[in-house]
Structure 1
């Protein structure tokens, strides 16, 4: 039981970290396109 909970918590943390990484990449990409729009 305890091992299963530990596995689930690790999986949850991994998925949260993965989601944050994707969100940061998307935000950075949007900021870059915004800067390009300002330059043109």
Structure 2
């Protein structure tokens, strides 16, 4: 439920955190958060 605020910030799409194994997953979460907006 408590998703990090980085997901809603556009800079994340350009600079994905190094601790993430896959940048695609992070981008997908960002897109879903922007489209759905319920996260």
Normalised-by-shorter TM-score class: 0.3 to 0.5
Scaled by the length of structure 2, the TM-score of the pair is: 0.38
More helix by share: 1
Q: Of the two, which has the highest radius of gyration?
A: 1
Which structure has more RCO (C-alpha within 8 Å, separation ≥ 6)? 2
Scaled by the length of structure 1, the TM-score of the pair is: 0.38
